[in-house]
Structure 1
Amino acid sequence: MELSSKISVSFFFFFFLFALIANAQDSPQDYVNAHNAARSQVGVPNIAWDDNVAAFAQNYANQRKADCQLVHSGGGGKYGENLAWSSGDMSGVDAVKMWVDEKAFYDYNSNSCAAGKQCGHYTQVVWKNSVRVGCAKVKCNNGGTFIGCNYSPPGNFNGQRPY
């Protein structure tokens, strides 16, 4: 094989590998696994991927491509929702981890967040009655990343504990 052919093959392989890595941790199973790892820590049954919920998430994420703003969709009245944004790339697994990290601010006994902290993303991830999830990721026009996950049925009802 001549040198230019070897370079072409190496070049192709590099970009193929880069494409695989760039899409790593964004598959439906990656999102589900990240959610279920957190749910299993508190004894909550697994959540399952739902293509209809994912279609809702994708439709809304597409609407956020222009501005990448963390504005909730309202869930169409039937979905819970977690959103994440990054100025660069972010994987779906990283977004779920960011939400789950709010566990440190959640007090189960008082069913509340620590003063000045957020924990509602975490409680939605582990909400026992939310049994279906669908997520989407888009690259925004400003170069940022917008990720949204929707949950059915929705969680985070005032006065109710997640599990």
Structure 2
Amino acid sequence: MAWHCIPLSSFIILSLLVLTTTAQNSAQDYVNAHNTPRGQVGVGPLTWDPTLASYAQSYANKRIADCALVHSNGPYGENLAKGSSSTFSGLSAVNMWVAEKQCYDYNSNSCMGGQQCLHYTQVVWRESTRVGCARVKCNNGWYYVVCSYDPPGNWEGEWPY
């Protein structure tokens, strides 16, 4: 499947298209999916943090009723995703965020043409060193993924790497 920069309003449609053949939701799956793109831009690896995973799980549990892509506004950086297929895994979510790389212009440190790229910049944020993620099945049958990052990224005016 080819990835293209998409308007933010199309984000949920993209999540419907992302499929994997196996459920990949272990801590190591999340860490590996984050560390591959981080290595590609020369940023150090993330490590799994049980406190962040617990926070992500707690927040994901709060979203089971509505599956809404609404941030927790907590103390950590955060990426959210959802997908309707039972094969929508944690790996699917991270891959979707990483695919936003093509919408990110490093020279201007901005998303191109109003496209979404801030999930990608959080994945590769150089100062983030720990990650914890969770996945739940919502009441509507969709799957919801939360990843929490510490220290948080996406500080206005700062480059991710």
Whether these two folds match at TM > 0.5 is yes
**Distance (Å, rounded) in 1 between the aligned partners of 2:160 and 2:34:** 14
Q: CA deviation at 1:25?
A: 1.0
Task: Choose the corresponding residue for 1:113, options 111, 114, 126.
Answer: 111
Structure 1 letter corresponding to 2:77: G
| 1:157 and 2:130 correspond | no
**Distance (Å, rounded) in 2 between the aligned partners of 1:126 and 1:116:** 20
**Distance (Å, rounded) in 2 between the aligned partners of 1:95 and 1:41:** 19
Q: Larger % of helix: which?
A: 1
Alignment RMSD, CA only?
Answer: 1.0
Q: CA deviation at 1:116?
A: 2.3
- Deviating beyond 4 angstroms after TM superposition, the runs of 4 or more aligned structure 1 residues are none
**Distance (Å, rounded) in 2 between the aligned partners of 1:99 and 1:65:** 21
Aligned twin of 2:44: 45
SS at match of 2:113: coil
Q: CA deviation at 1:87?
A: 1.9
**Distance (Å, rounded) in 2 between the aligned partners of 1:116 and 1:162:** 18
Structure 2 letter corresponding to 1:46: P
What TM-score comes out, normalization by structure 1 length?
0.84
Identity of aligned residues (%): 63
**Distance (Å, rounded) in 2 between the aligned partners of 1:97 and 1:142:** 23
| Structure 1: tracts of 5 or more residues without a match | 1-20
| Structure 2: tracts of 5 or more residues without a match | 1-20
Structure 2 letter corresponding to 1:49: W
What TM-score comes out, normalization by structure 2 length?
0.85
Q: Between Structure 1 and Structure 2, how many residues are aligned?
A: 140
